[in-house]
Amino acid sequence: MEILQHLFDGFLIAFQPLNIGLVVLGVIVGLFIGAMPGLGSVNGVAILVPMTFLVPPTSAIIFLAAIYYGAMYGGAISSIMLGIPGASTAVATTFDGRPLALKGLADKALVAAAVASFFGGTLSVILFTGFAPPLAAVALSFGDQEIFALMLLAFATFVGLSGDDIPKTIFSIAIGLVLSTVGFDIISGEPRLVLFEISGFLSQINFLVLAIGIYGIGEMLWTIEVSRGNSMMSKAVITVDRMLANMKEVMGTWKIATTSSLLGYFVGILPAAGATPGSLMAYGVAKMTHKNGENFGKGEVAGVVAPEAANNAASTGSMLPMLTLGIPGSPTTAILLGAMVIWGITPGPTLFIDEPELVWGLTASLYVANFFALLANIFLIPVFLWVLRMPFTILAPVIFALSIIGGYAATQRLHDVWLMLVFGVVGYLLRKLDYPLAPAVLAIVLGPIAEQKLRQSLIISDGDLTTFVTRPISGTITVIAIFLILMPVFKMIRDRLRRGTDSAA
Amino acid sequence: MYVSRRMLLGCAVVAGLGAALSTVASTAAQAWEPKKPVEFVIMAGQGGGADKMARLLQTVIEKNGWASKPLTPINKPGGSGAEALIHLNGKASSDPDHTIMVTLNSFYTTPLRQPNLKVDIATFTPIARMAEDTFLLWVHKDSGIKNVDDFVAKAKAAGSDWIMAGTGKLQEDQLLTDFLNAAYDLEMKYVPYKGGGAVAKQLAGQHANSTVNNPSEQEGFYKSGDTVPLAAFTTERINIFPDAPTFKELGKDFVYLMQRSVVGAPGMSDEAASYYQALFQKVFESPEWQDYRNKRALQGAFMSGDELKAYWMTERENHRQMLEKMGAL
């Protein structure tokens, strides 16, 4: 009950006029930053850090956290409306959000994104309130082997899906993995795959460049071909009845939302991962467990709910190691950490005792930020839909321009703009050939983490692969992952057996 | 007010006449201002010592409104800083006046190890040495190790199963590990990670047996009592860790410090260099930076211009010898 008392004190802080004003402002700013392709919470928080010196540290962190939060909601908007991921964390939202919009169901996707974000955000704040210190200990107990096993599981969810063409999925993952090795290798300190000796390839390919290329440019080309100049953008409308029906349908996905939130939260807690891998993994798991799994990627509400619940949960999750261990769980929290150091606050295991006002004020403000972001999103839906009613002849150049800006904004290198255009064209061709592209995006995000953790584990174990199965946590996860990878084989055998018995009968 | 400030600045400069002249020069060149946001490259990953420091420098500047254009921090941790060095080198021909970098000792080791990068740090523009950071040997409290003798005994018994986590390949942490291995006849296994934050976590989670983190990287875990500093690689004991002796006291004459400097792209114009030098001198003297230096027990006086370049050349030679001894060149 001590916790409830702390939380109550926190709400008193969060409801101070200055703080509540900052939450509202932060959420709105974050929403817009998140919705702009290429700009994500990292950029928003980094740009606004200096402004926080005008207010006390508690208000400052509340403001920055509200931006972080708002951006998580906002990222979904351009993913759904334009098919360009608004932020790295919203890449998985395009997988189903975009097809829904094309079917004229953008309102449904937007409601799903907002409600799922709220759900994921709130559930994770509750977990944060109740179990921050013990969860921090769990995060610490994850070593290299465990994180590698987790990455393996993420890949497995994408391979072991029924419905998709498995060789093509593996091919797509392979492309992503190869691209993810471009640049410098941390472990040997040597450059790798400097393609055509172009110096731009000396550093890693930013995965947002790949995602914007595939989903922005590639999608635009695809739509142009399919529509042949018709202004075929959806006639999405919104009425109160439709809104209620949407709500009802979204509520039906609460199971997916819960598992995704928990998964996202957990991945967010682990240092080195963050909200982007969290949302991709949640998408994979949802696709595998949902009864309409084979419809994922074609416009399934659950396919929007899963990544959106997960990325909000992960963003709260990634604050946990930052506050309790002083280790950022995501790039954005790294910046928050830097800001706290300057305010004279030392994040770490003793923070909860040293700075209760800051910790509980922040926690309470997250509840408020979630609630406000949900309201803002729902009420802005008519505005977003208006964008969709524009003819595609206007929308296509807008998407093109936003993609170019987004590709440049992510890294500020012209090299990446060219790369993005190439990815766009290649992505379009692969799509025509029916290759799933989401696995490539997954691979370029998770590949570098998986590779480093694999090699670090093997250095520690002297190259002994059994290190992954002899440790209890990594062993369990590895076995599940292997089972998932083999699932299509089991299915084939089962089908064959059944056919055998059928013909015998 | 203006005059006395200038005089104060002059007094604070350690190097005497040469530096005083450069202060005068910088006054004359105040006219130069950045024309766009300045890229503030960080030669290491997020959450490590270099990263935290860079973000502190950035915020001190922005908080006090000392720069007309913002500094935008970019992490380029790839290849032990090679990614960052190449990035700066590339700016020499395109836009040398709007890229500066926070650098560490990989500034020496990476170009030495990878001559194919075609990076010569003698061509880089010396802006400011803001501090020298210290290193300590750390273990987890549950290991029961209380001093270097315990450490040596346990590490010797474990042989190559003893894991030392560190940042990057063949840079600071590995040099120190190698020193310890040689000095105490150990066979510790070195595992490279992306940044000091990740390394600190490996020790706190007991996935590694020891580390050679900077104080700022272990501060949180030290405060909570999870990790213990055994000894420092400094000349004098570090005041915030009074119980940790120096290796010198223990009879090993080895001191190793890490520069925390700001460097400009090669080919930076003199006007721009003076601008950044004056800017970072202001930051150096700010109460925020001095406070940070005290809290983190940072050492090393302010250095700039030719003096800084001379320091780089000496340090590069020292590192060349260390790497040669390891057979890494």
For the stretch A226-276, pLDDT in tens is 766 555 455 566 677 777 888 888 888 888 899 999 999 988 887 666 778
Query: What residue of B is the nearest CA neighbor of A201?
Result: B83
CATH code (residue B117): 3.40.190.150
Instruction: Examine residue A302 and state whether it is found in any structural domain, yes or no.
Output: yes
Q: Which domain holds residue A228?
A: 2-500
pLDDT at A35 over 90: no
Mean pLDDT of the A192-198 span: 78
Number of domains in chain A: 1
Q: Do B205 and A327 touch (CB under 8 A)?
A: no
Instruction: Examine residue A397 and state whether it is found in any structural domain, yes or no.
Output: yes
Query: What residue of A is the nearest CA neighbor of B207?
Result: A143
The residue with greater pLDDT, B252 or B73, is B252
Residues B74, B119: one domain? yes
Structural contact between residues A323 and A334, judged by C-beta atoms closer than 8 angstroms? no
Q: What is the pLDDT of residue B16?
A: 45
Residues B8, B127: one domain? yes
How close A53 comes to chain B (CA, Å)? 7
Element (H, E) at B262: strand B258-264
Residues B295, B316: one domain? yes
Residues B60, B148: one domain? no
Instruction: Examine residue A473 and state whether it is found in any structural domain, yes or no.
Output: yes
Query: What residue of B is the nearest CA neighbor of A271?
Result: B198
pLDDT in tens, B99-138: 999 998 889 988 998 888 889 999 999 999 999 999 999 9
Instruction: Examine residue A505 and state whether it is found in any structural domain, yes or no.
Output: no
Q: Do A46 and B73 touch (CB under 8 A)?
A: yes
Q: Do B201 and A140 touch (CB under 8 A)?
A: yes
Q: What is the pLDDT of residue A123?
A: 92
Q: Do B223 and A346 touch (CB under 8 A)?
A: yes
C-alpha distances (whole Å) from A345 to each of A66, B11, B287 are 19, 32, 16
Instruction: Examine residue B240 and state whether it is found in any structural domain, yes or no.
Output: no
Q: What is the pLDDT of residue B48?
A: 59
pLDDT at A80 over 80: yes
Instruction: Examine residue B207 and state whether it is found in any structural domain, yes or no.
Output: yes
Residues B182, B67: one domain? no
Q: Which domain holds residue B72?
A: 2-133+257-326
Residues B311, B292: one domain? yes
Instruction: Examine residue A13 and state whether it is found in any structural domain, yes or no.
Output: yes
Q: Residues B152-175, buried b or exposed e (16+ Cβ, 10 A)?
A: bebbeeeeeebbbbbbbbbbbbbb
Q: How far apart, in whole angstroms, are the C-alpha atoms of residue B64 and residue A381?
A: 41
Q: Do B170 and A186 touch (CB under 8 A)?
A: no
pLDDT at A136 over 80: no
- Three-state SS at B29: coil
Is B56 an interface residue toward A (CB < 8 Å)?
yes
Q: What is the pLDDT of residue A272?
A: 61
Mean pLDDT of the A7-29 span: 88
Lowest-pLDDT choice from A125-134, A221-230, B188-197 = A221-230
Query: What residue of B is the nearest CA neighbor of A410?
Result: B74
Residues B105, B121: one domain? yes
> Considering only residues 278 to 337 of chain A, which have any Cβ-Cβ distance to chain B shorter than 8 Å?
325-328, 331, 334-335, 337
Instruction: Examine residue B245 and state whether it is found in any structural domain, yes or no.
Output: no
Q: Do B86 and A199 touch (CB under 8 A)?
A: yes
The residue type of A72 is M
Q: How far apart, in whole angstroms, are the C-alpha atoms of residue A326 and residue B220?
A: 6
Q: B269: exposed, middle or buried (C-beta count within 10 Å: 0-12, 13-18, 19+)?
A: middle
Q: What is the pLDDT of residue B4?
A: 46
Structural contact between residues B52 and B86, judged by C-beta atoms closer than 8 angstroms? no
pLDDT class for B152, splitting at 50, 70, 90? Answer: very high
The residue with greater pLDDT, B3 or A14, is A14
The last residue of a domain, from among B232, B249, B266: B232
- Three-state SS at A456: helix
Nearest to B221 among A187, A337, A349 (CB): A349
Residues B75, B122: one domain? yes
pLDDT class for B253, splitting at 50, 70, 90? Answer: confident
Query: What residue of A is the nearest CA neighbor of B288?
Result: A342
> Considering only residues 348 to 367 of chain A, which have any Cβ-Cβ distance to chain B shorter than 8 Å?
348-350
Residues B50, B189: one domain? no
Q: Show residues of chain A in contact with B191, CB under 8 Å.
A: 456, 459-460
Instruction: Examine residue A435 and state whether it is found in any structural domain, yes or no.
Output: yes
pLDDT at A357 over 60: yes
Average pLDDT across chain A, whole number: 81
The residue with greater pLDDT, A135 or A12, is A12
Q: Do B220 and A141 touch (CB under 8 A)?
A: no
Q: Do B47 and A327 touch (CB under 8 A)?
A: yes
Mean pLDDT of the A186-203 span: 76
Query: What residue of A is the nearest CA neighbor of B50?
Result: A338
Residues B162, B191: one domain? yes
Residues B45, B142: one domain? no
Q: Which residue has the tokens 């346990």?
A: B154
Nearest to B219 among A140, A204, A348 (CB): A348
Number of domains in chain B: 2
Q: Show residues of chain A in contact with B221, CB under 8 Å.
A: 325-326, 348-349
pLDDT class for A412, splitting at 50, 70, 90? Answer: low
Q: Do B59 and A347 touch (CB under 8 A)?
A: no
Q: How far apart, in whole angstroms, are the C-alpha atoms of residue A218 and residue A32?
A: 24
Would you tell me how many other CB atoms lie within 10 Å of the CB of residue B187? 12
pLDDT in tens, A477-490: 899 888 888 877 77
Residues B116, B156: one domain? no
Q: Which of B192, B173, B166, B193 is nearest to B45 (CA)?
A: B193
DSSP string across A184-214: E-TTT--EE--GGG-GGGGSPPPHHHHHHII
Is B219 an interface residue toward A (CB < 8 Å)?
yes
Is A341 an interface residue toward B (CB < 8 Å)?
yes
Element (H, E) at B192: strand B189-193
pLDDT in tens, B178-232: 999 999 999 999 999 877 778 888 998 899 999 999 888 888 888 888 899 999 9
Q: Which of B297, B295, B138 is nearest to B204 (CA)?
A: B138
> CB neighbours of A459 closer than 8 A, spacing ≥ 6?
A187, B189, B191
Q: What is the pLDDT of residue B302?
A: 95
φ, ψ of residue B177 to 5 degrees: the values are: -60, -45
Lowest-pLDDT choice from A114-123, B17-26, B82-91, B313-322 = B17-26
Instruction: Examine residue B18 and state whether it is found in any structural domain, yes or no.
Output: yes
Is A190 an interface residue toward B (CB < 8 Å)?
yes
